[in-house]
Amino acid sequence: MRFSGQTVMITGGCKGIGYSTAIKFLKEGANVVILDLNTQETEAAVSRLREYGDKIEGTAADVTDRSSVAAAIQFTINRFGSIDVLINNAGITQDAQLLKMEEEQWNSVIDVNLKGVFNMTQAAALQMKEQNSGVILNASSVVGLHGNFGQTNYAASKSGVIGMTKTWAKELGRYNIRVNAVAPGFVLTDMVKKVPEKVLNSMKEKSLLKDIGLPEDIANAYAFLASEEAKFVTGTVLSVDGGLTL
Ligand SMILES: NC(=O)c1ccc[n+]([C@@H]2O[C@H](COP(=O)([O-])OP(=O)(O)OC[C@H]3O[C@@H](n4cnc5c(N)ncnc54)[C@H](O)[C@@H]3O)[C@@H](O)[C@H]2O)c1
């Protein structure tokens, strides 16, 4: 099993891509810790995930809150003794066109998608530096590479994630820590259920593979980037979008 004995933390692991990613890593032998906002939802997700492996734990935490992040990191180290892979998956949207966007919409998306990734990575990287090994994987988006109508805040956050990914690859490589990002296209999760069907169909049409992604497609990309097969890969952004923007 590729990830036997390794500990993988996944933010926003209760549903969608994070949940599928937890399944993938459990099936491949990892110890998995999911963290998410709501205690009950996290406990329920952990119970369902036990079907795929028993080395699963959950902790309620808000990635925007540094003390909550510190507690989640400590929880993981106490339970499993290391953090080998951090997947900064938690993210939100609050869409509005530039001329209508409220300050609160801007702040909340930047807080979760950008500051949350900073908070988690800073805390986990300290542990990884001690270990002299680690992998950090960040959720960017096709929108971070190309922009999107109605998503000023989201585009800023997901482009920012790419900037941080490259910066951390430069800073942390000396500690044997690899840092990469995945840029999904449209993937069938609750986040995308907010997108009008007309837009989704047109995305399907535009993609070279004439399809929308599944959460498992992104989980597979994370697993590759976390694995030994990617041991020489750092500072990159892997698009997983069916060729949407080529
Ligand atoms: N679905 C897509 O089409 C798509 C495309 C590109 C990128 N992404 C990115 O992939 C990631 C996962 O997307 P998804 O579609 O699975 O989303 P989702 O909405 O299905 O799940 C996101 C999870 O993150 C959690 N979360 C939100 N704020 C949090 C916080 N402050 N602290 C901790 N957890 C928090 C939510 O509770 C939820 O469980 C996001 O970063 C998203 O931006 C998704």
What share of the chain has pLDDT > 90, as a percent?
A: 94
Chain-wide mean pLDDT for the chain?
A: 97
Q: What is the pLDDT of residues 129-158, one digit of tens each?
A: 999 999 999 999 999 999 999 999 999 999
13 Cβ below 6 A of ligand 1: no
Of 34, 36, 118, best ligand 1 pocket probe by most atoms within 8 Å of the beta carbon:
36
pLDDT value, residue 28: 98
pLDDT value, residue 200: 87
Reported as a pLDDT band with limits 50, 70 and 90, residue 184 is very high
**In contact, 179 and 165? CB cutoff 8 Å:** yes
Q: Hey, which residues does 187 pair with through a beta bridge?
A: 213
pLDDT value, residue 79: 98
Reported as a pLDDT band with limits 50, 70 and 90, residue 61 is very high
174 CA from centroid of ligand 1 (Å): 30
pLDDT value, residue 155: 98
Residue nearest to atom 40 of ligand 1 (CA): 91
Q: What is the pLDDT of residues 2-46, one digit of tens each?
A: 999 999 999 999 999 999 999 999 999 999 999 999 999 999 999
pLDDT > 90? residue 244: yes
Q: What is the pLDDT of residues 93-121, one digit of tens each?
A: 999 999 999 999 999 999 999 999 999 99
15 Cβ below 6 A of ligand 1: yes
pLDDT value, residue 116: 99
pLDDT > 90? residue 193: no
**Of residues 19, 52, 154, 222, which has the active-site annotation?**
154
Residue nearest to atom 43 of ligand 1 (CA): 91
Which ligand 1 atom minimizes the distance to the CA of 213? 3
Reported as a pLDDT band with limits 50, 70 and 90, residue 196 is confident
pLDDT > 90? residue 125: yes
pLDDT > 90? residue 194: no
191 Cβ below 6 A of ligand 1: yes
Active site residue 222: no
92 Cβ below 6 A of ligand 1: yes
pLDDT > 90? residue 199: no
